């Protein structure tokens, strides 16, 4: 019956895979607003449960011939396996096997002698310590590597400065002058990064380009433009827009600050003699694109010769309000709009569509009306020598990744090379910025590794080790009082135990085995149904909650009103989502535990046996300690450890930034140096969002981790369970988008634009995938679910806030 | 190890799937060819897919309105909008996807027309509640009240075609759509004039007549704009302000008065802006002001002191003040009269200082004029209502960016040391003519003076500095004048290739000509022209009329030959013909035309030959003082001789004999 068993097992695996495919198909159908998704979901569940049933059947198979009951069950399962044709066929083959050879390799799970415990190593030879050291060193190596790329092999000087009102006042008497170009608020400042290539000198001033990121982005997300332009000889200034990054001004005045910066640099001939004032350019992405268009229009003067900005590159922004300024430009200009820009769904009329705006762009030049009827992409219209040059690009990428697209960056660089006379012999397609991105990304991974291994090292210190020790002591106490513990498969009770305890153990093992076998199908159904249900809820409630966040926090969602009350507009959606889903997770966890124990009670009574309750799920939630005071002490120690780890993490970020001007990031995920505004903002959000983190930690450690699986499977299932719901948002959205041209989540409710919230999911999915893994690792180190949740919550939320926008009025 | 291998394999396959998925995405695009026809005539073919729209022409037909493109060849309004494209000038995939049959990837659309609706009134409202405060419910209520009002005015709104239409999107989008619809009479819910012009793209005076704020139809105070000038539109517009505004429709700005002092105060009290000033407060202020003026030797009862209220948003109130043009002091505004109000420091106002508490709020006071009285009162305001120390009031308004006077004269110096500079009079004459033609074609009015400088470089530098009015210098090389702005190197001039053009002045015309001198056309004028081998000068031999006789002509010819020698022309390389023409003017004109080789004509007056290029008037010749020199050819040498004939030395040749005779 060995082969028969294997065949049935294989069939169950096919059904699991089929279940996943059906659920994905259900997501796709949902994205296409086709109600058949209900059918697909039903098929998926049938496939999944059928797999459980078959797997259970295979486990209990004792003979190649089915018993009567088994036969009936198998036939039912076989019929249901129609939802998965391969499984159906395999089941036929399995059913037809009525004879087997008896040559069966019985795998005995009982190990022989107990392995001798490993000798205790010196702390510096432990794996944790070595890992900590290696990751620490790696952070610095990668910082240096990132710096090398950012400075183009140390040929570009990169530095930060803060633009203040006094600075703009001091230089307001130059060619660009007037109150309009002075920072209005006394305490407002703008964070600026400056790239000065070594070829830019007073004797040989260089073209100068101003780079502006879009909404919720920081200047670090535009580093690729800065690197490639400075590498080709341009001086580059990159500024954090209002309310974002290190900028304390919260409004969008001064075209989000870039006009103040241009005034300062242009008029300041004391400090910026290496900038060629006759060759200024500007590039911005998304909202930043609109801002640089405003900048170029406001400083256009009466002619190309008078225009301060000689070349402007407007990326990812085609609003009509911006298009109305095209005729006012007296400079060479380029626009690019991603072919798959999700925001295009808003512009589908004959006054707003990209095609119409592009036509206006090439026709409304310098106040004159050209008469082009069609736009050829990548074709240069007009003449650069008189500021009438226009070019339109359309790269095959989406909105939020356009800034990381090689073609897009090449187009930008080539444009400025020609328009500002950079005369670079480095082709636009030759790019090195991803070296910095990769270095920073690996540094981020190294930093996380460092923190986790640091935790393991610190937990060896007696002061902190008590946390885990007391937890384990509580566990042993519970075990010694005869509470049956479901033993993971493969472990046999210690044969050296006394006879009484041996009998108890045998009894316990027997009960555990019974419990294990009784939980197999029902437990699996509950377990996986819960998993699927939470994923569906997480998927479907994200956008409604994002929309709700706009209504609940209206003041905090407006860029023109500043508030201390949840001022991070985009993160408010995550706040609600985390709180709701965290609460749901906790309710489901406790409810299913109650349900399972209630089922055990009913089943045992029906069978006339002793019920074996499983309350040990809650054990990792409890803090150890011989009494209440000791528990409190352990809690405080744990909090101290959490603060320490958080502090060390951000100290490493700051240290890396001080030394190498590098933080830890990869595209949309970043850990930037802390500033007061973002820190205070994060503090507001952490307590509420913590609900989600502790819920996840409990789920992965108290539920998934107790399934008796191998550790890698626990991590994988936990990671997938936590992220698949969000991943399905992307699936639904983009299946609809690529099929119809409009995203599924474009407008919601009363016409609220929600597509930007979907863009956030890209980074969120990755963090939600990593979170259970971290929670599990911290749990293994500390023996409780709390530390991982606290550390992950504080760090992840601070990262999220720092990479977003906050309208907190702090200067 | 096995698990890691499996994990790595899964990761690789996932990456491959993602990468190939990206390519597969393109496969989901469905290109559809759209053929357009208008009344049976082919218009064009366009391709659309999910990510590509097509901009298409909008058709016109007499007395009909173009409604868009339809899958139905004979679409009528009864067929409804389902068969129409959503836009008239844009075809989208969504418009045609339901009509593309089976595997076909092509569809034909037909121009659809409908009768032009005759609307009585169209009111557009800004359907963005978070910004405008308006929603359908508010507008339904508005409509009810409007109908009631119109009924009271004798209209029958139920039988009229009154449309109240919402526009959603941002300001730019909605304003563009309103312009496209071109039937809107009134807009409600948008913002200030600067917003609908700068961001919305509307042009005041073209797209809308007026835009006034202070109306609250919904939850917020917003603006209403009037786009047309019909009787009904005006009636309804006024009603909107009567019904929904506390301050009513702003009156037309008062004409500039002969007042001694005009003080504007900001009458605004909203959640976001409160000037703290009321009529009562200002009455009290006026009384105190009068009392103060009395102590300063003024008699307020004999003076006309106007204290005038301005309401509305900052931009509109400031615009109104500028339009009125008689305000001396503004009180109650904030620091943003420049950024938001559109006023310019130094031009529209002298200074704007805060810390003034005339009313219940600390605000700003701006000084707009520099009269003794306004400065006195301004100072008094700060002494009385502020703890702020008033900065010194400048004597004259400081214009931070003074507009330079237009350049009326352009002086071009040229290095007359021909063997060094390569320039000679012929070249300079041709160049001067080319320059004047260029200035004329560019619409630049400016006197051009071309002046030669000879001698050593230092001497030339000294002479140029001494003259002080040279804007451009051509032909020098080692030339380092004071005030040198820029130079062009290696400029070919004559037979030289290393000359320079120096820019000494940054006037508009100087810079313009300097830039022009970089062009090939300009530089061609500085090259050695083709050598001329014959010069024919005609003279009016009717001595009694022209004043010329043979002796004068002989004298002139000698002088001419001397001049030509300075240009390198001798009898060996140039044939100089001086030919007399007698008879009546018409006979002379005919003879000159018949000969066809006359370059210059001297002694005529009423002479209108074909090919006349230029003439010099009132040239003394003999006893006559009103003779003319006519230029009939534009060869370089001829031009040079023509220019030479303007000089005193040349002209003296026509009168030397006469003077000698007189002296004798």
User: Would you list the DSSP string of A305-316?
Assistant: TT-SEEEEEEES
Taking the Cβ of residue B44 and every Cβ of chain A, the question of whether any pair is shorter than 8 Å is answered with no
A320/B201 CB distance under 8 A: yes
Q: For residue B93, give the nearest of A173, A351, A741 by CB distance.
A: A741
Q: Residue B205 has what pLDDT?
A: 87
A179/B345 CB distance under 8 A: yes
- Residue A48: give the domain boundaries: 1-105
Residue B443's contacts (CB-CB under 8 Å, 6 or more residues apart) are none
Q: What is the helix, strand, coil percentage profile of chain A, to 5? A: 60, 10, 30
Q: Residue A308 has what pLDDT?
A: 94
The percent of residues above 90 in pLDDT, for chain B, comes to: 46
Is residue A112's pLDDT more than 70? no
Q: For residue B338, give the nearest of A178, A352, A356 by CB distance.
A: A178
Q: Tell me whether residue A120 is in a domain.
A: no
Q: Tell me whether residue A124 is in a domain.
A: no
Minimum distance, in Å, between the CA of residue B123 and any CA atom of chain A? 20
Lowest pLDDT segment from A81-85, A646-650, B6-10, B161-165: B6-10
Of B500, B508, B568, B564, the C-alpha closest to B535 is B564
A351/B180 CB distance under 8 A: yes
If you search the block for the tokens 């000294």, which residue do you land on?
B462
Q: Which of A79, A105, A131 is the last residue of a domain?
A: A105
Q: Tell me whether residue A810 is in a domain.
A: yes
Q: Which of A61, A88, A105 is the last residue of a domain?
A: A105
B42-66 tens-digit pLDDT: 999 999 999 999 999 999 888 889 9
Lowest pLDDT segment from A497-511, B180-194, B197-211: A497-511
Q: How confident is the model at residue B662 (pLDDT cuts 50, 70, 90)?
A: low
In a shared domain, residues A532 and A641: yes
Q: Tell me whether residue A74 is in a domain.
A: yes
Q: Residue A668 has what pLDDT?
A: 82
β-bridge pairing A235-239 and A189-197: antiparallel
Q: Which residue has the higher pLDDT, B49 or B118?
A: B49
Instruction: Round to whole Å and give the CA distance between A655 and A674.
Output: 11
Consecutive H or E run containing A436: helix A433-458
B499, B476 contact by CB (below 8 A): yes
A351/B177 CB distance under 8 A: yes
In a shared domain, residues A185 and A250: yes
Is residue A496's pLDDT more than 50? no
Consecutive H or E run containing B615: strand B614-621
In a shared domain, residues A93 and A174: no
Find residues 381-400 of chain B whose CB sits inside 8 Å of chain A: 400
Q: For A418-424, which contacts have Cβ atoms below 8 Å and span 24 or more sequence positions?
A: A418/A384, A419/A281, A419/A310, A419/A311, A419/A332, A419/A384, A419/A389, A420/A207, A420/A209, A420/A234, A420/A279, A420/A281, A420/A310, A420/A311, A421/A207, A421/A279, A422/A206, A422/A207, A422/A232, A422/A233, A422/A234, A423/A233, A424/A232, A424/A233
Q: How confident is the model at residue A537 (pLDDT cuts 50, 70, 90)?
A: very high
Q: How confident is the model at residue A503 (pLDDT cuts 50, 70, 90)?
A: very low
Q: Which residue has the higher pLDDT, B7 or A278?
A: A278
Is residue A302's pLDDT more than 50? yes
Q: Tell me whether residue A357 is in a domain.
A: yes
* Four-point Cα dihedral A492, A497, A499, A502, nearest 10: -30
B173/A751 CB distance under 8 A: no
A738/B87 CB distance under 8 A: no
Taking the Cβ of residue A551 and every Cβ of chain B, the question of whether any pair is shorter than 8 Å is answered with no
Q: Tell me whether residue A448 is in a domain.
A: no
A738/B28 CB distance under 8 A: yes
Q: How confident is the model at residue A287 (pLDDT cuts 50, 70, 90)?
A: very high
ipTM: 0.80
Taking the Cβ of residue B51 and every Cβ of chain A, the question of whether any pair is shorter than 8 Å is answered with yes
Q: Is B572 exposed, middle or buried (0-12, 13-18, 19+ CB in 10 A)?
A: exposed
B172/A359 CB distance under 8 A: no
Q: How confident is the model at residue A487 (pLDDT cuts 50, 70, 90)?
A: very low
Mean pLDDT value across chain B: 87
* Four-point Cα dihedral A121, A123, A126, A131, nearest 10: -170
In a shared domain, residues A99 and A170: no
Is residue A108's pLDDT more than 50? no
Lowest pLDDT segment from A611-615, B271-275, B541-545, B567-571: B271-275
Is residue B663's pLDDT more than 80? no
Q: Which two tokens stand for residue B251?
A: 């009156």
In a shared domain, residues A566 and A661: yes
Q: Residue B272 has what pLDDT?
A: 62
In a shared domain, residues A703 and A806: yes
Q: How confident is the model at residue A474 (pLDDT cuts 50, 70, 90)?
A: low
A124-149 tens-digit pLDDT: 888 889 999 999 999 999 999 999 99
B90/A346 CB distance under 8 A: no
Residue A226 is part of a domain; what is its CATH number? 3.40.50.1820
Q: Tell me whether residue A756 is in a domain.
A: yes
- Count, in order, helices (H) and strands (E) of chain A: 22, 14
pLDDT, mean of residues B95-119: 87
Give ∠ CA B19-B24-B29 in degrees, rounded to 5. 140
Q: State phi, psi for B493 to the nearest 5 degrees.
A: -140, 125
Q: Tell me whether residue A114 is in a domain.
A: no
Q: Residue A523 has what pLDDT?
A: 79
Q: How confident is the model at residue A516 (pLDDT cuts 50, 70, 90)?
A: very low
Q: Which residue has the higher pLDDT, A748 or A493?
A: A748
Q: How confident is the model at residue A514 (pLDDT cuts 50, 70, 90)?
A: very low
Q: Residue A577 has what pLDDT?
A: 95
Q: Which of A105, A130, A148 is the last residue of a domain?
A: A105
Of B378, B393, B382, B374, the C-alpha closest to B303 is B374
A751/B168 CB distance under 8 A: yes
Taking the Cβ of residue B50 and every Cβ of chain A, the question of whether any pair is shorter than 8 Å is answered with yes
Q: Which of chain A's residues have a Cβ under 8 Å away from the Cβ of B136?
A: none
Q: Which of chain B's residues have a Cβ under 8 Å away from the Cβ of A184?
A: 335, 339
In a shared domain, residues A600 and A700: yes
If you search the block for the tokens 């060759």, which residue do you land on?
A279
Please name the residue of chain B whose CA is at the shortest distance from the CA of residue A177. B400
Q: Residue A488 has what pLDDT?
A: 40
Mean pLDDT value across chain A: 87
Taking the Cβ of residue A354 and every Cβ of chain B, the question of whether any pair is shorter than 8 Å is answered with yes
Q: Which of chain A's residues have a Cβ under 8 Å away from the Cβ of B36?
A: none
In a shared domain, residues A89 and A170: no
Minimum distance, in Å, between the CA of residue A63 and any CA atom of chain B? 31
A759-796 tens-digit pLDDT: 889 989 999 999 999 999 999 999 889 999 999 999 99
Number of domains making up chain A:
3
Instruction: Round to whole Å and give the CA distance between B327 and B341.
Output: 15
Tell me the domains of chain B and their CATH numbers. 32-115 (2.60.40), 121-244 (3.40.190.10), 261-385 (3.40.190.10), 409-524 (3.40.190.10), 534-663 (3.40.190.10)
């Amino acid at each position: 019956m060995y082969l028969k068993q294997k065949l049935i097992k294989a069939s169950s695996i096919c059904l699991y895979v089929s279940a996943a495919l059906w659920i994905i198909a259900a997501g796709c159908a949902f994205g296409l607003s086709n109600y058949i998704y209900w059918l697909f979901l039903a098929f998926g569940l049938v496939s999944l449960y059928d797999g459980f049933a078959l797997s259970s059947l295979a486990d209990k198979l004792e003979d190649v011939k089915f018993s009567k009951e088994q036969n009936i069950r198998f036939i039912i399962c076989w019929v249901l396996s129609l939802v998965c044709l391969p499984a159906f066929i395999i089941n036929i083959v399995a059913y037809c096997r009525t004879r087997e050879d008896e040559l069966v390799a019985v795998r005995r799970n009982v190990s022989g002698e107990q392995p001798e415990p490993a000798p205790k190593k010196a702390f510096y030879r432990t794996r944790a310590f070595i890992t900590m050291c290696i990751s620490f060193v790696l952070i610095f190596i990668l910082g240096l590597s990132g710096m090398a790329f950012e400075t183009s092999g140390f040929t570009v000087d990169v530095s930060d400065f803060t633009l203040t009102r006094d600075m703009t006042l001091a230089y307001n008497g130059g060619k660009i002058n007037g109150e309009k170009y002075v920072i209005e608020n006394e305490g407002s400042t703008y964070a600026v990064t400056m790239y000065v290539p070594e070829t830019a000198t007073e004797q040989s001033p260089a073209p100068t380009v101003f780079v502006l990121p879009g909404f919720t982005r920081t200047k670090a997300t535009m580093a690729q433009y800065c690197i490639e332009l400075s590498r080709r000889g341009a001086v580059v200034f990159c500024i954090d827009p209002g309310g974002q990054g290190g900028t304390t001004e919260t409004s969008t005045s001064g075209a989000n600050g870039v006009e103040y910066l241009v005034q300062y640099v242009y008029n300041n001939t004391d400090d910026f003699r290496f900038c060629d004032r006759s060759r200024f350019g500007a590039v911005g992405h998304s909202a930043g694109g609109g801002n640089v268009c405003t900048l170029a229009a406001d400083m256009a003067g009466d002619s190309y010769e008078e225009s301060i900005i000689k070349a402007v590159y407007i990326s990812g922004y085609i609003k009509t309000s911006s298009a109305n300024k095209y005729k006012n430009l007296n400079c060479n200009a380029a626009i690019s709009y991603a072919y798959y820009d999700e925001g295009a769904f808003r512009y589908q009329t004959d006054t707003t569509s990209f095609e119409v705006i592009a036509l206006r762009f090439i026709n409304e030049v310098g106040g004159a009306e050209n008469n082009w009827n069609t736009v050829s992409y990548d074709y240069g219209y007009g003449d650069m020598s008189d500021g009438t040059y226009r070019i339109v690009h359309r790269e095959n990428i989406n909105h939020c990744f356009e800034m990381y697209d090689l073609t897009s960056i090449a187009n930008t660089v080539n444009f400025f090379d020609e328009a500002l006379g950079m005369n670079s012999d480095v082709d636009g397609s030759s790019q090195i910025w991803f070296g910095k991105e990769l270095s920073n990304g690996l540094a981020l991974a190294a930093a996380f590794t460092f923190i986790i291994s640091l935790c393991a090292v610190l937990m060896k210190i007696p002061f902190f080790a008590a946390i885990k020790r007391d937890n384990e002591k509580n566990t042993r106490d519970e075990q010694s009082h005869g509470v049956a513990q479901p033993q993971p498969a493969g472990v046999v009770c210690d044969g050296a135990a006394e006879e009484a305890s041996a009998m108890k153990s045998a009894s316990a093992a027997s009960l555990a085995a019974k419990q294990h076998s009784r939980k197999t199908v029902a437990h699996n159904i509950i377990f996986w149904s819960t998993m699927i249900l939470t994923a569906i809820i997480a998927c479907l409630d994200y956008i409604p909650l994002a929309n709700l966040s706009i209504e609940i926090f209206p003041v905090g969602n407006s860029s023109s009103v500043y508030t201390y009350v949840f001022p991070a507009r985009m993160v408010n959606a995550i706040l609600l989502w985390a709180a709701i889903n965290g609460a749901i997770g906790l309710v489901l966890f406790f409810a299913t535990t109650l349900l399972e124990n209630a089922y055990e009670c009913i089943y045992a009574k029906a069978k006339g046996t002793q019920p074996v309750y499983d309350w040990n799920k809650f054990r990792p939630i409890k803090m150890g300690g011989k009494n209440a005071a000791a528990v409190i002490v352990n809690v405080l120690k744990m909090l101290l450890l959490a603060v320490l780890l958080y502090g060390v993490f951000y100290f490493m970020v700051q240290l890396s930034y001080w030394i190498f001007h590098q933080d830890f990031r990869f595209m949309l995920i970043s850990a930037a140096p802390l500033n007061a505004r973002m820190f205070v903002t994060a503090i507001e959000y952490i307590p509420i969002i913590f609900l989600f983190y502790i819920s996840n930690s409990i789920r992965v450690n108290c539920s998934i981790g107790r399934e008796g699986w191998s550790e890698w499977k626990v991590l994988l299932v936990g990671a997938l369970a936590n992220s698949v719901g969000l991943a399905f948002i992307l699936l639904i959205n983009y299946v609809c988008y690529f099929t119809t041209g409009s995203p599924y989540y474009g407008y919601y409710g009363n016409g609220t634009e929600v597509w930007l919230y979907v863009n956030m999911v890209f980074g969120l999915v990755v963090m939600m995938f990593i979170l259970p893994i971290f929670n599990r690792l911290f749990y293994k180190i500390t023996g409780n679910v709390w530390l991982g949740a606290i550390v992950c919550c504080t760090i992840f939320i601070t990262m999220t806030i720092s990479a977003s926008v906050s309208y907190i009025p702090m200067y | 190890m096995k698990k890691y291998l499996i994990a790595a394999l899964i990761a690789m396959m996932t990456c491959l799937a993602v990468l190939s998925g990206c390519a597969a995405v393109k496969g989901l695009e469905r290109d559809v060819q759209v053929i357009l026809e208008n009344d049976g005539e082919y218009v064009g073919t366009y391709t659309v897919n999910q990510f590509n729209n097509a901009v298409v022409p909008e058709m016109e037909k007499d007395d009909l309105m173009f409604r868009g493109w339809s899958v139905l060849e004979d679409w009528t309004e009864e067929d409804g909008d389902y068969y129409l494209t959503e836009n008239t000038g844009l075809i989208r995939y969504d418009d045609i996807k339901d009509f593309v049959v089976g595997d076909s990837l092509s569809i034909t659309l037909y121009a659809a027309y409908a009768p032009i609706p005759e609307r009585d009134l169209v009111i557009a409202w800004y359907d963005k509640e978070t910004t405008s405060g308006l929603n359908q419910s508010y507008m339904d209520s508005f409509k009810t009240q409007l109908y009631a009002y119109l009924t009271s005015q004798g209209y029958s709104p139920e039988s009229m075609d009154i449309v109240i239409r919402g526009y959603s999107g941002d300001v730019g989008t909605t304003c563009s759509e309103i312009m496209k619809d071109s039937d809107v009479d009134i807009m409600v819910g948008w913002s200030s004039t600067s917003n609908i012009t700068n961001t919305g793209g509307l042009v005041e005076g073209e797209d809308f007549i007026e835009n006034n704020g202070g109306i609250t139809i919904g939850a917020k105070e917003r603006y209403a704009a009037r786009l047309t000038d019909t009787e009904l539109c005006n009636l309804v517009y006024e009603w909107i302000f009567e019904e929904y505004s506390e301050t009513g429709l702003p009156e037309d700005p008062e004409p500039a008065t002969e007042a001694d002092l005009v003080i504007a105060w900001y009458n605004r009290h909203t959640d976001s802006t409160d000037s703290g000033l009321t009529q009562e407060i200002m009455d009290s202020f006026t009384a105190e002001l009068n009392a103060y003026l009395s102590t300063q030797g003024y008699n307020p009862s004999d003076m006309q002191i106007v204290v005038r209220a301005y309401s509305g948003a900052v931009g509109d109130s400031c615009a109104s003040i500028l339009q009125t043009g008689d305000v001396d002091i503004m009180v109650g505004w904030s620091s943003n009269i420049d950024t938001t109000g559109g006023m310019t420091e130094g031009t529209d106002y002298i200074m704007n200082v805060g810390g003034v508490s005339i009313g219940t709020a600390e605000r700003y006071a701006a000084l707009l004029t520099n009269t003794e009285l306004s400065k006195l009162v301004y100072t008094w305001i700060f002494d009385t209502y502020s703890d702020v120390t008033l900065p010194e009031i400048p004597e004259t308004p400081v214009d931070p960016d003074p507009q330079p006077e237009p350049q009326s004269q352009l002086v071009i110096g040229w290095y007359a040391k021909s063997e060094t500079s390569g320039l000679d009079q012929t070249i300079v004459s041709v160049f001067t003519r080319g320059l004047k033609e260029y200035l004329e074609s560019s619409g630049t009015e400016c006197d051009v003076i071309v002046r030669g400088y000879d001698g050593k470089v230092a001497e030339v530098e000294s002479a140029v500095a001494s003259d002080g009015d040279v804007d451009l210098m051509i032909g020098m090389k080692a030339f380092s004048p004071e005030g040198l702005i820029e130079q062009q190197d290696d400029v070919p001039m004559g037979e030289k290739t290393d000359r320079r053009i120096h820019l000494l002045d940054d006037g508009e015309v100087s810079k313009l000509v300097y830039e022009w001198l970089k062009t090939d056309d300009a530089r061609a004028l500085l090259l050695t022209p083709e050598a001329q081998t014959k010069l024919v000068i005609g003279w009016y031999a009717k001595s009694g009329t022209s004043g010329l006789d043979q002796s004068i002509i002989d004298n002139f010819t000698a002088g001419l030959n001397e001049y030509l020698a300075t240009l390198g022309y001798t009898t060996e390389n140039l044939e100089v013909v001086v030919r007399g023409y007698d008879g009546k003017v018409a006979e002379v004109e005919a003879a000159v035309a018949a000969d066809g080789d006359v370059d210059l004509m001297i002694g005529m007056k009423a002479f209108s030959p074909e090919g006349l290029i230029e003439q010099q008037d009132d040239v003394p010749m003999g006893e006559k003082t009103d003779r003319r020199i006519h230029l009939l050819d534009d060869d370089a040498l001829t031009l040079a001789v023509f220019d030479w004939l303007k000089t005193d030395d040349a002209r003296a040749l026509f009168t030397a004999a006469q003077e000698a005779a007189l002296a004798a």
